[in-house]
Structure 1
Amino acid sequence: MFNCRSNSIDIETYSDIDLTKCGVYRYAESPAFEILLFGYSVDGGEVTVIDLAQGEQIPDEILDALTDETITKWAFNANFERVCLSKYLRDLGRSLDLFYDNHPLSTEMARYLNPAGWRCTMVWAATMGLPLSLKDVGSILKLEDQKMDEGKMLIKYFSVPCTPTKTNGGRTRNLPADAPDKWTTFIAYNKRDVEVEMAIQQKLSGFPVPESVWDEYHIDQEINDRGVRVDMYLVKNAIDMDGRSRKELTAAMRRITSLSNPNSIQQMKQWLADNGLETDTLGKKAVAALLRDAPPELAEVLELRQQLAKSSVKKYQAMENCVCDDGRCHGMFQFYGANRTGRWAGRLIQMQNLPQNHLPDLAEARALVCSGDFDSVKLLYEDVPDTLSQLIRTAFIPKDGQKFYVADFSAIEARVIAWYAGEKWRQEVFDRGGDIYCASASQMFHVPVEKHGVNGHLRQKGKIAELALGYGGSVGALKSVGALEMGLSEEELQPLVDAWRQSNPHIVKFWWDVDRAVTEVVKQHKTVHCYGLILSYQSGMLLITLPSRRNLVYVRPKIGTNRYGGQCIAYEGIGATKKWERLDSYGPKFVENIVQATSRDILCNSMKTLRCSSIVMHIHDELVIEADPEVSLDVLCEQMGRVPDWTPGLKLRADGYICDFYMKD
């Protein structure tokens, strides 16, 4: 009788679909897809590799374990193994769990293995502030056995199509028989990956992932499995229209400038200079600034340049690449993608940075694009690229007979930081449903401020201050959120910083109390309690335990010196260069992590509350649910806005709207 508690798994696969562009869900749907090697270990024992490409078979008891939720399956980036093995089992004719998303309201037959039985070593590493790469994690943890460097070359050789040449006999794929020595190394590589994954588990065993976080991971996998429907009529016509628009815009620029390639930044900068307009960059902000004073003939070229610079078509192309046979895009959300806070990162279509929509007749514009009526779009809206950009959100649609319910938290980070710091005037504003931008401006300038009313012009300053200054930002932060472009003068910026800080003394105190607490913990390796947080030092890690009991982890912290010569906390992590390096931090930055992580935990709490709803997307602090039109929006928002029991006194509110296609209300 086969008896085990867990299996560690790693697979090597082949498909003619580009995994990086299309994602694993589309990748595994290809008729050419197959699993080449299946490496596994039972309960931490010796690793076995099944050579499926050469006719070996996975033992029945291991196949049975894949569909047994009581047996834990471990893998690094387990979503890949789970989705690929789902396809493999379906092809074998094996049934999967009927309720693929693990809730009783599901009536759809399973396409994927139930995530409830899976754990991801990559997620575990991410909870410890480590990278999302098996090789990098192994290196940082100084494992005895490291991931083999030959892997990238072997995957390129065996796992993707090859170019036919005279040398290789015109073949489009390399098989084991074409390079037996490489295949033997590939088997060793697969075996080593399982060993490295198990070594990571062993190394991190002193820092187990809370069951509540695994539950969040399973909800994330359910959302990725469910996917979201895409209107392919809109997508295909938008791509065609963009191509036609670009040709016309390029031709117009060529007529005016006589440049051989008016899309060339270097040629365009030189042409502008020759016509009396010097610029170091043609970035969006720079061109907008040039347009304010440019003579008409140059302004026309700059406006054409702005239209050509729109990258709307890339989002549509990403949708076309990753849409699956069911007409839905899957796998767009990376759990713990921002590993210091645990927030999600976008994948494939990058939902986190969709353009906003401001067209008053959005549905009409959408209908014209769906019908392929380029001339009408150009006639009515003039700027075709901008129109297509504003319609990107509307490409996501609910399934027939249902609608999208979009709900998000109102000013979640502003509420959370006020709750932590005990900034009572802000909490009172939220309690009575007030406008935080007006209230902030009123507090700063000591006059009443009403939106579209008395002293309404000050609201913009309150908004700019709220967006830029909550985490220790100063003049530079105001500039980065566009203060100068919004009409503020350089002379107004420092007084605005001073006024905001004077109006929020408890938040400023929160920054520096956290700074002192972190410094004390790192220097003395002790535990400090403050603001409902627990700061501690364990095994070379700084831990900040949030009210949700989840940890923020900072690797190998020490007291350092920042670029200004002052004292700071330095720790190791992924920096702006996407490389593992030593990073500087200080109180306000730690507070930013704490507030954003807590906001993320509140969103997860709402996901758990609404688990039996069909969540198809989530963007920042917003949930998008596919539901029957008879569902009550008020009830849904009430459920989303429930305050977790670990944030007593927090003033939380969710607002929402219903739509026939995704949009920003």
Structure 2
Amino acid sequence: MSRLVLIDGSSYLFRAFHALPPLTAPDGTPTGALYGIVNMLRATLKENPDYTAFVLDASGPTFRDELYPQYKANRPPMPEDLRAQVEPMKEIVQALGFPLLCVPGVEADDVIGTLALQAHAAGIPVTISTSDKDFAQLVRPGITLTNTMTGSVLDDAGVMEKFGVRPDQVIDLLALMGDTVDNVPGVDKCGPKTAAKWLGEYGTLDAVIASADKIGGKIGENLRAALGRLPLNQQLVTIKTDVALDQAPSDLTLRPRDVDALRELYTRCGFGSALRELDGGSAPPARGARPVAPAAVADEAPDAALSAPGEYECVLDAAALQAWVARLQAAELVAFDTETDSLDPMRANLVGLSFCVEPGQACYIPVGHDYPGAPAQLDRAAVLEALRPVLEDAAKPKLGQHGKYDLHVLRRHGVDVRGYAEDTMLESFVFNAGGQRHDMDTLAQKYLGYTTIKYEQVAGKGAKQILFSQVAIDDATKYAAEDADVTLRLHRVLSAKLAAEPTLQAVYRDIEMPLVPVLTRMEATGVLIDVAELRRQSADLSQRMMAAQQRAHELAGRAFNLDSPKQLGQLLFEELKLPALVKTPTGAPSTNEEALEAIADQHELPRLVLEYRGLAKLRNTYTDKLPDMVNPDTGRVHTSYHQAGAATGRLSSNDPNLQNIPIRTEDGRRIRTAFIAPEGRRIVACDYSQIELRIMAHLSGDPGLVRAFEGGLDVHRATASEVFDVPLEKVSGDQRRAAKAINFGLMYGMSAFGLAKQLGIGRGDAQDYIALYFGKYPGVRDYMERVRQQAREQGYVETVFGRRLQLNEIHSRNQAQRAGAERAAINAPMQGTAADIIKRAMVSVQDWLDGQGGRATMMMQVHDELVFEVDAGFVDTLVDEVRRRMVAAAELRVALVVDVGSGSNWEEAH
């Protein structure tokens, strides 16, 4: 179906000017706003709209100035740095082929509104690309808003969620609130929540006016004082939809690009990536060339202003606090950070907060510095109450760097932050997952050329490090305010980079950011542990370790330290003369797990040492440690999930790591019995069945593999039947085991040598197995070759949902590094897609759980498994809904399958 995209050029021009860094062209002319506009237009072109227009305000007065002479009277003149970018912007817009519309006497809003309703009447879906809230009044089925700078999309439900009113009530909402930018005075002290409340109760502005006498308090007095101007407000904020225009929506087609004009304009502005795209930079490279993945291309170097020091204020009195609250309320985006006395967000006490709404200007509000001589500070509770309307306003976007920690801290102090919309750590991670660290210090140096104040510089290090509550407030202000400031600066750069890569932006906007509150909820929920059971298991493990140690001493004929690699190596390789089949990097005989497994069939001692180490690991990592990690306030263990860890997008868990508890051993499964449900509740585990193999079937499209899944067969048995040419019912256990090793091994790029080692067969036999496999599943072989070639050409591979994994070693001269990159190229799309799928499922499931009154909570994510704590009488309902949402998280060639179990503990639920 045809689609019309209407771009609110005036809105984006001002937004880009204030949001993006003050970049300059090679000749020194300003280009920051222009850079944002160009990236937005390039992203729009990639969507291939059927009809489109770039709409600007015309110069001169409009009909609103006649209605109200003070309309926009308080707007300052356009900054000269912005004015200088207007004409180049128009030239680029037209050179790209976009129709450019400027209609005298009306605003761009009115032109867009008219075209939108004309297209809607003609049955053409409309997307309005804007950051202006006024356009919400136009939303209806077939007309949506999109903000390319944030990636957000508003439809009817989105308007209701953001503003608390229906789209047809937005005009009345704006009339009540007023608009300080346009100098339209609303009801004094009436913000969006109050206006939405009135409209929810009375329905329309006319009804609110008629009921003004019923509204009590100071706000009621303010409403009654404003009654005379509200009808005019309504006229001023209503977008005109009957402007006489020379063009109809169907006339707004893209013209061919003027490549020569664009090349000259991009060169003059210094827009490197736009030039590369124009000159075919995304085409496959010549033989021997080493491509750079588009997402990894560094655009223009940051302007010097980005590395300039900021101006920071320490807020120590109520007047300064209120002034900052007002700034936060007026800001489009609020960057914030917390300072605490602990790295554990579940136990940390708030020491201070920092905020920034404009690059280079930030504040620090100390509330917990308690060193001798510290100046008087505002009361923490009072500060949080003053900030609560901003922090808990879902319509007020917030920004952080690894903000999940800060959300925990504020929740623990009674503030439930809503509207957490941006995170620079996640922007960096999605933009280039494997190419760098994603901490603020590293990102500031890389993208801003800015050297941050390090924590050790203000708090010391090692044994002499002090708590942040002991840091002098002057030093704390510079450090903490800089955190918020640099976060906002980074967002300006990283958001522009993501905006130029729509698929990456979709991963960030649709998968990673919605997951933040889900993980926050899971971490805060925690899991109940049976401490007494773990103590019993520790005692048992200790006894078995002692028995293993005694047996080892008997075998050695003397006492030695099983935990000493040196003593063990001397015993095994010098005294017992066992072969040293595995060496350390220095050439010495190794005693690691691989080395001991290699000689375990030659003497009892290596196998005994492996058993001892396994028992010690379980005791030290889990049975001894978990009881000490129970939070005294909640009585539960709280892990921390990391989104920006594995380059494939898989979540990791630590403090404690709940994802590495062995499930294949009896002792590992026994540990899971200590993860329990409280009385009246049950543990439910929902696990994707063979998800990566199903993704392989989807990506390869191999008919045999697809057929096996569609038939509901045991896929390993079906593979064995195909590979070894025997009926399904006659497949032996060894044949199924070999087929399973091939199925999973190939996904991880396993060679014939690796398969031979795993199965304990000759390399030639293993090569024959692989040849037989590819003969029966040629689609898998073709997929593997295809993805290797794509990796060589692009320098990256993608998941089904567009997440990228950079492969920096794909053209390495080192054969081992190159082979490793090729193995990653094959595996990453499957493992990454599996990660994307379960993240999407988690967001969907939590959205449903939020409405279930606490009858079930999502507690853990372990690879392809979600674990819940559920009221006993609610288990069946939960299972049905969770299974449905997990299955619906992706549409593949073969259906997703979810295995479910329940019990009084985690092990019973398997």
Q: Offset at 1:460?
A: 1.2
Residue of structure 2 equivalent to 1:68: 393
Q: 2:785 matched to which residue of 1?
A: 512
Matched, 1:563 2:842: no
Would you say 1:24 and 2:269 are equivalent positions? no
- Pairwise CA RMSD of aligned residues? 3.3
Q: 1:100-122 CA distances to partner (integer Å, 9 max, x unpaired)?
A: xxxxxxxxxxxxx2565354321
- For residue 399 of structure 1, give the secondary structure of its aligned residue in structure 2: coil
Distance in 1 separating the partners of 2:636 and 2:707 = 43
Q: Is 1:615 equivalent to 2:858 in the alignment?
A: yes
Q: Contact 2:694/2:894 (CA < 8 Å) preserved in 1? A: yes
Rounded to whole Å, the distance in 1 between the matches of 2:826 and 2:816 is: 22
Partner in structure 2 of residue 427 of structure 1: 706
The aligned residue for residue 647 of structure 1 is 891
Q: Distance in 2 between matches of 1:422 and 1:332?
A: 37
Deviation of 1:471 after TM superposition, in Å, equals: 4.6
In 2: Cα distance, 1:269 partner to 1:308 partner: 20
Q: One-letter code of the match for 2:635?
A: G
- Which of these residues, 428, 438, 441, is aligned with residue 132 of structure 1? 438
Change in CA separation of 1:193 and 1:444 when aligned onto 2, cut-off 3 Å: same
Q: Which residues in structure 2 correspond to 1:400-419 (within 5 Å)?
A: 400-419=679-698
2:483 to 181, 193, 201: 193
What amino acid sits opposite 2:786 in the alignment? Answer: D
Question: Is 1:635 aligned to residue 635 of structure 2?
Answer: no
What's 1:9 paired with? 336
The reply on whether 1:267 has 2:567 as its aligned counterpart is yes
Cα separation, partners in 2 of 1:5 and 1:543, compared to 1, 3 Å: farther
Contact 1:603 1:621 in 2 (8 A): yes
Candidates 47, 50, 55, aligned match of 2:365: 50
Kept after mapping to 1: 8 A contact 2:440/2:487: yes
In structure 2, the residue corresponding to 1:203 is in which secondary structure?
helix
2:880 maps to 1:605: no
Deviation at 1:156, TM superposition (A): 4.6
Farther off after superposition, 557-566 or 274-283: 557-566
Which amino acid letter does the alignment assign opposite residue 824 of structure 2?
A: K
Q: Contact 2:429 / 2:644 at 8 angstroms: preserved in 1?
A: yes
Do 1:415 and 1:430's aligned partners in 2 also have CA atoms closer than 8 Å? Answer: yes
Kindly indicate whether residue 351 of structure 2 is the aligned counterpart of residue 36 of structure 1: yes
Tell me the residue number matched to 2:742: 465
AA aligned to 1:264 is S
Please report how far the alpha carbon of residue 154 of structure 1 lies from its aligned counterpart in structure 2 after TM superposition. Answer: 3.3
**1:432/1:234 Cα in 2 relative to 1: closer, same or farther (>3 Å)?**
same
Match in the other structure for 2:537: 238
> Is structure 2 residue 896 aligned with structure 1 residue 661?
no
CA distance in 1, matches of 2:727, 2:712: 16
Pairwise CA distance, 1:314: 1.3
- Contact 1:319–1:349, Cα closer than 8 Å, also in 2: yes
Matched positions, count: 539
Alignment match, 1:284: 593
Q: CA contact under 8 A between 1:396 and 1:661: conserved in structure 2?
A: yes
Contact 2:721 2:731 in 1 (8 A): no
Is the 1:125–1:132 Cα contact (8 Å) retained in structure 2? yes
Q: How does 1:267-346 map to 2 (within 5 A)?
A: 267-272=567-572, 273-279=574-580, 280-294=589-603, 298=605, 302=609, 305-306=612-613, 309-324=616-631, 325-338=633-646, 340-346=647-653
Q: What are the within-5 Å matches in structure 2 for residues 471-482 of structure 1?
A: 471-478=748-755
User: Which structure has the greater CA radius of gyration?
Assistant: 2
Q: Secondary structure at the match of 2:407?
A: helix
Rate the CA distance shift 1:501–1:304 in 2: closer, same or farther, 3 A.
closer
Identity percentage of aligned residues: 20
Q: Compute the TM-score of the two structures, normalised by the length of structure 1.
A: 0.72
Higher relative CO (CA 8 A, sep ≥ 6), structure 1 or 2?
A: 1
| Bigger mean CA deviation after superposition, 129-138 or 195-204 | 129-138
Name 2:761's counterpart in structure 1: 488
1:309 to 1:439, Cα distance in 2 relative to 1, 3 A: same
In structure 2, runs of 5+ residues without a counterpart are 1-188, 190-325, 500-504, 581-588, 850-855
| 1:102-121 matches, cutoff 5 A | 113-114=416-417, 116-117=419-420, 119-121=422-424
Q: Choose which of 703, 718, 727 in structure 2 pairs with 1:448.
A: 727
Q: CA deviation at 1:305?
A: 4.3
C-alpha contact 2:709 2:894 (8 A) present in aligned 1: no
Q: Deviations over 1:204-252 (max 9, x none)?
A: 1221544322222222222222222111222334345545554565466
The aligned amino acid for 1:205 is S
CA deviation digits over 1:436-468, x for unaligned, max 9? 111112222222244xx4444311110111111
> Residue 902 of structure 2 aligns to which amino acid in structure 1?
I
Measured in 2, the distance between the counterparts of 1:231 and 1:511 equals 46
What are structure 1's unaligned runs of at least 5 residues? Answer: 29-33, 91-95, 97-112, 164-171, 360-386, 523-541, 569-582
**CA contact under 8 A between 2:720 and 2:738: conserved in structure 1?**
yes
Distance in 1, Cα, partners of 2:546 & 2:732: 48
Aligned pair in 2 of structure 1 residues 257, 78: CA closer, same or farther (>3 Å)?
farther
Secondary structure in 2 aligned to 1:86?
helix
Question: 8 Å contact 2:791–2:797 — kept in the other structure?
Answer: no
CA shift digits 1:116-170 (9 cap, x unpaired):
53543212221122423222222332x132222x42353455xx9859xxxxxxx
Indicate yes or no: 2:828 matched with 1:593.
yes
Q: Per-residue CA shift, 1:156-198, capped at 9, x if unaligned?
A: 55xx9859xxxxxxxx97974xx85xx6444322222222212
Q: Matches of 1:65 and 1:241 in 2, distance apart?
A: 53
CA apart distance, 1:257: 4.3
Q: Deviations over 1:506-534 (max 9, x none)?
A: 12222332333444446xxxxxxxxxxxx
Range that drifts further, 75-84 or 606-615: 606-615
TM-score by length of 2: 0.54
CA 1:337–1:307: 2 relative to 1, 3 Å:
closer
- CA deviation digits over 1:630-656, x for unaligned, max 9? 322762564145244x62533221111
Contact map agreement 1:472 1:511 (CA 8 A) in 2:
no
Alpha-carbon offset, residue 423 of structure 1: 0.7
Distance 1:330 1:409 in 2: 24
Match for 2:738: what amino acid? K
TM-superposed deviation, 1:661? 0.8
Does structure 2 conserve the Cα–Cα contact (< 8 Å) formed by 1:6 and 1:42? yes
**Which position in structure 2 is the counterpart of 1:381?**
none
Conserved in 1, the CA contact under 8 Å of 2:355 and 2:485? no
Distance 1:307 1:618 in 2: 24
Q: Which protein has the bigger strand share?
A: 1
- Residues 271 and 564 of structure 1, relative CA distance in 2, 3 Å threshold: closer
When you count helix as a share of all residues, which structure comes out higher?
2
Task: Tell me, in whole angstroms, the C-alpha distance in 2 between the residues paired with 1:514 and 1:303.
Answer: 39
Contact 1:9-1:41 at 8 Å conserved across structures:
yes
Counterpart secondary structure, 2:659? helix
- Residue 35 of structure 1 deviates from its aligned partner by 3.0
Distance 1:189 1:543, change over 3 A: farther
Assess if the C-alpha contact under 8 Å between 1:404 and 1:660 holds in 2.
yes
Q: Quote the offset at 1:7 in angstroms.
A: 1.9
Alignment of 1:166-205 (within 5 A): 176=470, 184-205=474-495
